[in-house]
A and B are shown apart, each in its own frame.
Chain A
């Protein structure tokens, strides 16, 4: 309550929520336990398949909304919204420790927590395409989940269950409810809200730096931010220079820039050709016609090449190995000459077949 009075940024309903949480933490927990049990029994009666995850759809929805909000927050990496919550979290450590023991008895909730968090992890990872960011988000949220007081979780659930029972489609609204990051202060460290925020930020940065250490070669020996940043800068600069140099080299080696996308994925063509026996009698078009077809068939080529690229990792590789062996053995040119014409025939057929 004191904190509420001090901060001017908090809105009245937030303030009341905080006050309620401080004062009636334990009673809320008891109420919540009873509510859960009641709802659980209800659901068991209503839904005749008591599966683990579907046991409590209402509860599930609450948890998922809350976790969704928390994961969104992890994804967005917004700065901590309200500083007084830290003070609140630490003003009553005894309360929360009490709530911890109370919660540990309630095993079903934690089980849901893990299941739902794993589900959310998967959906989150499907959405984000960045590989490292996937690790980041999962690690961040898992760490936050372990650090977070269970008491806060419980109290937020009570607020949410009350809301959910009143309105049906409040899933979107509960997502917008602001979340608080709860960080436990270590022994001998300041509990000032600013320093806590800074510490959380620094931990995030150090975690990301660890990933960078794995990625950048030669970064293991260096410790400290400045040295690692130096290594990273050197690495990025070297990579960019390599791109420049290689593009220059390719330009020098290839006077005509005559790359063709069909050249890269020719292997799966026989499968498609086999399905078009009628077109085998088509006469060979001239080179000019071939180029025109080539231009129009780029999109077809890309589509077809898409499938080969998916098939490639699963292929046995027996057909590819002979080709490489041919190239390794061939010091004479005639074997190599056979294959390009063979390939150009394939390309003609393939182009005609897909027009």
Chain B
């Protein structure tokens, strides 16, 4: 349990560092942004930071970085942040198409063949129930594939693996952002400057770390 909390806190710190770095670069890049641009900058840096904590070892992180780099204005920004080449290009589109076609045709064959076998083995009602269940699962996996970045051409097992990793990273992201937001909010409420609020946030981190260390 101790190893787990140590890992997540180091992950949070790494994410925080990269995120702040990204925000600074963005703000130097473009002065005087309105609120929507600021929000976009924050979200972009957060996504890039959380994707880079994986060092391009997972599909979703690679896809996320690639999607962000697609936009031309963001490309410079991305390259500036990550001077060491962590950005790996996605597979060539032709190969991707061939793969998805192959998968699709295989699935069609499988579906027709297996329903035939099942209809012979089980009764007609059982076939219907299982096919309904399968349809439900299929629809939901489709939705999940649309949610997880880069999930389109993955099979079930790797999809679940990627989802696991993606959920962990999202949780880290949300946790850090929430703490920062609450610290900033409290600072404005108490009338302190933003730097102090950040100290307060840092204090929260360390206090929580030591509490965790004491508990475990």
Q: Across the interface, do A247 and B196 meet the contact criterion of CB distance under 8 Å?
A: no
* B21, B23, B164, B190: most-surrounded residue (chain A CB, <10 A): B164
A-B residue pairs in contact (CB < 8 Å), sample of 21: A130-B54, A133-B161, A204-B157, A205-B157, A211-B164, A229-B140, A236-B144, A239-B171, A243-B170, A246-B177, A247-B42, A251-B35, A251-B39, A251-B42, A254-B38, A257-B38, A259-B23, A261-B17, A320-B206, A331-B190, A340-B196
User: CB of B165 within 8 A of chain A?
Assistant: yes
Interface string of A329-344 (1 = CB under 8 A from B): 0110100100110010
How many residues on chain B are close to A (CB under 8 Å)?
Answer: 80
User: CB of B199 within 8 A of chain A?
Assistant: yes
Contacts of A266 in B (CB 8 A): 199, 202
Contacts of B168 in A (CB 8 A): 131-132, 215
Q: Across the interface, do B196 and A130 meet the contact criterion of CB distance under 8 Å?
A: no
Which 7 residue pairs spanning A and B have beta carbons closest together? A251-B38, A324-B203, A251-B39, A229-B140, A246-B177, A247-B43, A239-B170
How many residues on chain A are close to B (CB under 8 Å)?
Answer: 74
Q: Across the interface, do B21 and A302 meet the contact criterion of CB distance under 8 Å?
A: yes
Contacts of B140 in A (CB 8 A): 226, 229-230, 233
Interface string of A232-262 (1 = CB under 8 A from B): 1101110110111011111111101111110
In terms of DSSP, what is the predominant structure of the interface of chain A?
helix
Q: Indicate whether A235 sits within 8 Å of B20 (C-beta atoms), given known contacts A247-B43, A320-B203.
A: no
Q: Indicate whether A263 sits within 8 Å of B167 (C-beta atoms), given known contacts A212-B160, A233-B147, A236-B148.
A: no
Q: Across the interface, do B136 and A216 meet the contact criterion of CB distance under 8 Å?
A: no
Q: Across the interface, do A136 and B13 meet the contact criterion of CB distance under 8 Å?
A: no
Q: Across the interface, do A212 and B164 meet the contact criterion of CB distance under 8 Å?
A: yes
**Residues of chain A from 260 to 297 with CB closer than 8 A to chain B in the complex:** 260-261, 263-267, 295
Q: Across the interface, do A333 and B180 meet the contact criterion of CB distance under 8 Å?
A: no
Q: Across the interface, do A309 and B13 meet the contact criterion of CB distance under 8 Å?
A: yes
CA distance A37 to B3 in the complex (A): 42
Contacts of A229 in B (CB 8 A): 137, 140-141, 144
Q: Across the interface, do B20 and A317 meet the contact criterion of CB distance under 8 Å?
A: no
Q: Across the interface, do B170 and A253 meet the contact criterion of CB distance under 8 Å?
A: no
Q: How far is the CB of B66 from chain A (nearest CB, A)?
A: 18
A-side residues, CB < 8 A to B, are 77, 128-133, 136, 201, 204-205, 208-209, 211-212, 215-216, 224-226, 229-230, 232-233, 235-237, 239-240, 242-244, 246-254, 256-261, 263-267, 295, 298, 302, 305-306, 309, 312-313, 315, 317, 320-321, 323-324, 327, 330-331, 333, 336, 339-340, 343
Q: Across the interface, do A130 and B38 meet the contact criterion of CB distance under 8 Å?
A: no
**Complex: chain B residue closest to A136, CB-CB:** B161
Contacts of A258 in B (CB 8 A): 27, 194
Q: Across the interface, do B33 and A257 meet the contact criterion of CB distance under 8 Å?
A: yes
User: CB of B184 within 8 A of chain A?
Assistant: yes
CA distance A263 to B187 in the complex (A): 14
Q: Across the interface, do B148 and A208 meet the contact criterion of CB distance under 8 Å?
A: no
CA distance A266 to B195 in the complex (A): 11
CA distance A324 to B183 in the complex (A): 12
Interface string of B179-216 (1 = CB under 8 A from A): 01100110010111111101111111111011001000
Q: Across the interface, do A132 and B196 meet the contact criterion of CB distance under 8 Å?
A: no
CA distance A306 to B194 in the complex (A): 23
CA distance A244 to B185 in the complex (A): 17
Q: Indicate whether A243 sits within 8 Å of B160 (C-beta atoms), given known contacts A261-B17, A302-B21, A343-B195.
A: no
CA distance A97 to B176 in the complex (A): 55
Contacts of B166 in A (CB 8 A): 236
CA distance A132 to B200 in the complex (A): 32
Q: Across the interface, do B202 and A264 meet the contact criterion of CB distance under 8 Å?
A: yes
Q: Across the interface, do B192 and A265 meet the contact criterion of CB distance under 8 Å?
A: no
- Residue among A209, A237, A323, A327 making CB contact with B160, cutoff 8 Å: A209
Q: How far is the CB of A328 from chain B (nearest CB, A)?
A: 9
**Complex: chain B residue closest to A242, CB-CB:** B174
Q: Across the interface, do B196 and A236 meet the contact criterion of CB distance under 8 Å?
A: no
Q: Across the interface, do A77 and B46 meet the contact criterion of CB distance under 8 Å?
A: no
Q: Indicate whether A77 sits within 8 Å of B202 (C-beta atoms), given known contacts A133-B165, A251-B35, A259-B20.
A: no
User: CB of B78 within 8 A of chain A?
Assistant: no
Contacts of B188 in A (CB 8 A): 253
Q: How far is the CB of B7 from chain A (nearest CB, A)?
A: 6
Q: Across the interface, do A313 and B199 meet the contact criterion of CB distance under 8 Å?
A: no
* A201, A256, A313, A324: most-surrounded residue (chain B CB, <10 A): A313
Q: A246-B177, A306-B17 are in contact. List 12 more A-B contacts (CB 8 A).
A: A212-B163, A225-B133, A229-B144, A240-B147, A243-B174, A247-B39, A250-B39, A250-B181, A251-B42, A261-B17, A317-B209, A339-B199
